[in-house]
């Protein structure tokens, strides 16, 4: 699927500075602040107290739209994502080159030069693959990794298969709705080393999450790992949704203008979901990123949730 981080991206414009020293000084300050913000926040400190209270006030003051529209948007989630890819093709998102930095397990298959005669050292799955912004960078750096890739938007899967680097010997893409289509129809049971769940569950209504996680579990081998990243509660995007009534469908669930959904998670919620299905939590915490628009002097506090779970 898609990379939700970039959907909310604020484009920065470089201001004109009278002196190079001022530019350098400003860049150093911003870089230092960004490095500080890259560190994960403690679970109890999602936001500073003042910002947290303001975020709660805005979000709790929002109301869900009429039930007819709630049901309609939930039922048409896959259709609206498919329309998104038909509209944008491969132009909307950048490749996720940060994956190996955040989830080092993908580096395990990167050693040595490519040799087609050698067997695959890892077999992985990306759920919600979108147009391959995760799949192809990972395959490029891991010559002995085999990747399954699925999405519930047929047009996205078509675009993956048309990619110049798509090869059936190393990648197999297919259409799948995690909430109802068994992954075991395509992938052998208990066979995968790693499954990436990157900005995927946020596109699924909360009442269908257990079914999706059960489905994922079926194809992951015992000891296999889930790499998870998604929106966290009190993210700037959630505050923006609630600041403009008419987007809320349910608790922490919103609809974008194009009809796609966005669900925001807490650590407790995600841990309960995965541990309830027999996973062990390796790590699960909030990550803070700050998007800076220097031209408008706006800082946006982005909150994500990053986790690793192992199948018992």
H helices within the chain, ranges in order? 4-7, 20-37, 49-60, 67-75, 77-88, 99-102, 135-141, 154-162, 209-219, 236-243, 267-276
Q: Is residue 30 part of a domain?
A: no
Q: Look at residue 110 and tell me whether its pLDDT is greater than 50.
A: no
Mean pLDDT of all residues in 19-24: 55
CA dihedral for 76, 77, 78, 79, sign (positive or negative): positive
Q: Is residue 209 part of a domain?
A: yes
pLDDT, tens digit (0-9, with 9 covering 90-100), for 271-297: 999 999 999 999 999 998 777 766 667
Query: Residue 161 sits in a domain of what CATH number?
Result: 3.40.50.150
Under the banding of pLDDT at 50, 70 and 90, the label for residue 133 is confident
CA dihedral for 200, 204, 210, 214, sign (positive or negative): negative
229 with 240: CB under 8 angstroms?
A: no
Parent domain of 183: 78-235+268-311
Give me the half-sphere count of Cα atoms (radius 13 Å) on the Cβ side of residue 176. Answer: 24
Q: Is residue 254 part of a domain?
A: no
CA nearest to 176, candidates 218, 227, 138: 218
Mean pLDDT of all residues in 101-118: 54
Mean pLDDT of all residues in 153-175: 89
Which of 11-15, 124-128, 295-299 is predicted most confidently? Answer: 124-128
Which range among 149-153, 243-247, 291-295 shows the weakest confidence by mean pLDDT?
291-295
Q: Is residue 154 part of a domain?
A: yes
Q: Is residue 22 part of a domain?
A: no
Number of domains within the chain: 1
Within 10 angstroms of residue 270's Cβ, the number of other Cβ atoms is 23
Helix (H, G, I), strand (E, B) or coil at 37: helix
Mean pLDDT of all residues in 21-48: 49
Q: How is residue 153 written in tokens?
A: 């938007």
Q: What beta strand segments (E) does 239-297 contain?
A: 248-250, 253-255, 261-263, 279-293
Q: How far apart are CA 252 and CA 269, in angstroms?
A: 12
Q: Is residue 283 part of a domain?
A: yes
Q: Is residue 112 part of a domain?
A: yes
Q: Look at residue 25 and tell me whether its pLDDT is greater than 80.
A: no
Q: Look at residue 204 and tell me whether its pLDDT is greater than 70.
A: yes
Q: Is residue 21 part of a domain?
A: no
């Amino acid at each position: 699927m898609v990379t939700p981080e970039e959907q909310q991206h604020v484009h920065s414009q470089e201001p004109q500075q009278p002196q190079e020293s001022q530019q350098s000084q400003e860049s150093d300050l911003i870089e230092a602040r960004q490095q500080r913000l890259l560190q994960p926040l403690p679970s109890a400190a999602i936001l500073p107290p003042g910002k947290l209270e303001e975020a709660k006030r805005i979000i709790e003051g929002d109301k869900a739209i009429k039930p007819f529209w709630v049901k309609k948007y939930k039922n048409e989630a896959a259709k609206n994502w498919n329309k998104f890819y038909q509209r944008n093709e491969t132009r909307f998102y950048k490749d996720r080159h940060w994956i190996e930095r955040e989830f080092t397990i993908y580096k395990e298959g990167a050693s040595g030069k490519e040799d087609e005669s050698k067997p695959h050292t890892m077999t992985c799955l990306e759920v919600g693959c979108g147009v391959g912004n995760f799949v192809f960078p990972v395959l490029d750096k891991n010559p002995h990794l085999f990747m399954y890739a699925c999405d519930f938007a047929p047009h996205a899967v078509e675009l993956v298969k048309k990619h110049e680097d798509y090869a059936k010997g190393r990648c197999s893409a297919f259409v799948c709705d995690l909430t109802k289509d068994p992954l075991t129809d395509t992938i052998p049971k208990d066979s995968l080393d790693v499954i990436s769940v990157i900005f995927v569950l946020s596109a699924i209504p909360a009442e269908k999450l257990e079914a999706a996680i059960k489905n994922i579990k079926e194809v992951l081998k015992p000891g296999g790992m889930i790499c998870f990243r998604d929106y966290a509660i009190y993210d700037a995007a959630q505050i923006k949704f609630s600041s403009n009534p008419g987007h809320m469908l349910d608790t922490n669930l919103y609809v974008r203008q194009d009809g796609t959904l966005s669900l925001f998670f807490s650590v407790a919620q995600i841990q309960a979901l995965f541990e309830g299905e027999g996973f062990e939590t390796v790590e699960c915490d909030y990550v803070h990123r700050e998007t800076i628009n220097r031209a408008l002097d706006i800082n946006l506090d982005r909150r994500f949730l990053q986790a690793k779970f192992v199948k018992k």
